[in-house]
Amino acid sequence: MALPKEFISICFNEALKGKGRVSPNPLSGAVIVKNGNIISKGFHKSFGSPHAEISALKKAGSKAKNSTLYLTLEPCTHFGKTPPCADEIIKSGVKKVVVSMLDPNPMFEGKGISKLRNHGIQVETGILKDEAEELNKFAMKYNQSNIPYVTLRIIRSLDDALTCSSKGKNKWICQETKNFIYELRNEYDAVLIGRNLARIENPSLKVKNSKQRQPYRIVLDTNLSLPTNLRLFRDEQRELTIIIAGSHMEGSKKGDSLEKRGTRVIYAKRNPHQSLNLDSVLAELGRINLSSLLVEGGRQIFSSFIRQNLFDELNNILVPKFVGNGFGSAFTLGNFNDTRKNGLKFCKTEKLGDDLLLVFKNENL
């Protein structure tokens, strides 16, 4: 007979089917088991759609009575886009509920568990909790801070050059790395770059498959100086382009013109150096319900996020090539002196064809 951990692992696989589509909600998966056999499975397909347990209960029908319901996430107790899941579980006649992690929203944490127990349903929590929290790292960060989870995606050569791409062709990286980048973009709510990279490379920042969900494309352009003939302003996904400018540009003709062309412009505060204040940028992105942000460069952008300690994760892709002259160092940290007690936590390594991915978590937030 399968163990609870095995059923929770199946829940994780179900939850992943909603990756990139449920934000700002957490990913969730459900499995209903009776007499050791799986009766039904479900997952949260998209924001506003039924939650995982509702999908599984609907499939199970009357068979759910006296069963065990396995969940990645504590069932909700409040009315939102959908009715409370805890109420439906109580009505179904489920005998026991096994939950991996509690609701990441502090306002609702533990309420679903209490409600089920008050109605005589046995509840077990905490199985594969760390794995569940990693699965829902975006929702956890957003619910606790109201700003998105930030990942820096950096590609570096053996001579420490930043190899973003060459005229948009990514000639330095292998196909496996390109595919990995496409998958990352599909997972995150938005991709962010700086004005210089947008102007020089003229990227589209899309995922490979046009039928897949496309992320928002965000460009930091303090003074709204980008030319409007870039692909980000003219392609079929232009409604997904967001320009973040300094608050001094609000009400300007440039901003109004971009808005009329279908490009969203958001205004953020500036720092004493008259560039964008990244704290303000992240707060503005949180206000429009973006729970995850993939930062793709360039070097000044990377350096600013690192100096200000405003990132949660770093994906460092090492390309086994010497790029040579013409490409500067990956960072411009200047006289930066890192006095923090802890550095980055190494999480994993993965081979991407000829390239190597190193994943680190920031423990200093």
- Asked whether the CA dihedral 285, 290, 296, 302 is positive or negative, the reply is positive
Q: The whole model's pTM is what?
A: 0.92
CA angle 47, 313, 266 (to 5 degrees): 55
Confidence at residue 329, expressed as pLDDT on a 0 to 100 scale: 62
Contacts of 116 (CB under 8 A, 6+ apart): 75, 86, 89, 90, 97, 123
Q: What percent of the chain has pLDDT over 70?
A: 92
Q: Name the pLDDT band for 167 (thresholds 50, 70, 90).
A: very low
What gap in Å lies between CA 363 and CA 309, rounded to an integer?
10
Question: What mean pLDDT value characterizes the chain?
Answer: 91
DSSP annotation of 34 = E
Q: Which of 152, 148, 159 is nearest to 307 (CA)?
A: 152
* 338: pLDDT strictly greater than 50: yes
What gap in Å lies between CA 171 and CA 348, rounded to an integer?
26
Q: Name the pLDDT band for 245 (thresholds 50, 70, 90).
A: very high
Contacts of 98 (CB under 8 A, 6+ apart): 4, 7, 8, 68, 69, 70, 71, 123, 124, 125, 127
Which of 38-52, 159-173, 293-307, 343-357 comes out lowest in average pLDDT? Answer: 159-173
Is 53 part of the annotated catalytic residue set? yes
What gap in Å lies between CA 300 and CA 163, rounded to an integer?
14
Highest-scoring range by mean pLDDT, 45-49, 172-176, 217-221: 217-221
Other C-beta atoms closer than 10 Å to the C-beta of 248 total 13
Which of 234-238, 322-326, 335-339 comes out lowest in average pLDDT? Answer: 335-339
Q: What percent of the chain has pLDDT over 90?
A: 79
What gap in Å lies between CA 39 and CA 33, rounded to an integer?
6
Average pLDDT over residues 57-63: 97
Q: Choose the catalytic residue: 53, 284, 296, 313.
A: 53
Q: Name the pLDDT band for 339 (thresholds 50, 70, 90).
A: low
pLDDT digits (tens, 9 = 90+) for 196-213: 999 999 999 988 876 778
What gap in Å lies between CA 109 and CA 130, rounded to an integer?
16
Confidence at residue 172, expressed as pLDDT on a 0 to 100 scale: 80
Confidence at residue 318, expressed as pLDDT on a 0 to 100 scale: 93
Confidence at residue 341, expressed as pLDDT on a 0 to 100 scale: 56
Confidence at residue 199, expressed as pLDDT on a 0 to 100 scale: 95
* 352: pLDDT strictly greater than 90: yes
Q: Name the pLDDT band for 168 (thresholds 50, 70, 90).
A: very low
For residue 288, CA distances in Å to 140, 174, 191, 296 come to 17, 35, 14, 20
The HSE-up count of residue 260 (CA atoms within 13 Å, CB side) is 7
What domains, with CATH codes, occur in the chain? 4-139 (3.40.140.10), 148-362 (3.40.430.10)
Confidence at residue 158, expressed as pLDDT on a 0 to 100 scale: 85
pLDDT digits (tens, 9 = 90+) for 121-140: 999 999 999 999 999 999 99
Confidence at residue 328, expressed as pLDDT on a 0 to 100 scale: 58
